[in-house]
Amino acid sequence: MGLVLALLLKYQALSAVTTDKWETLLFFPMVARFSQVQLTVGSKRARQDGLGSLFIGGAGSMQVAVAAFFTVVTGWLLLGLPGIGCAAVCSLFTWLAKAWFHRKLGGITGDAIGCVSELNEILCLMTLVALGGRF
């Protein structure tokens, strides 16, 4: 049920985007992948044997800096200020989700990384809809 609702939310938000759809289609998955990097850097492992532990072990500050740079530059080139605003909103959400998962689970799992990625795709699309005609 959650998967169906997530897909419907993405579809409805994408159809309501007032900026050019091609730029949005290129940008929102990039923001979600940046959130995966941001979530793993500096996180503790909730489990030692899952896929999340592999991601956490391989990510460092250099990876998050490169991912942030490319996400912000791509957001600016494709969508202008709404793209940068969207990246900022999703980054804040990822930081809050990271704190929540650490408090509730004691760290990050692979499922948590996937969940935050999917939620950031939806949040990015909804933010672009909200910011669409303002800049």
Neighbours of 45 (CB within 10 A): 18
pTM of the model: 0.85
The pLDDT tens digits for 61-84 are 888 899 999 999 999 999 999 999
In the chain, which stretches have pLDDT less than 50?
134-135
* Among 2, 37, 19, CA closest to 86: 19
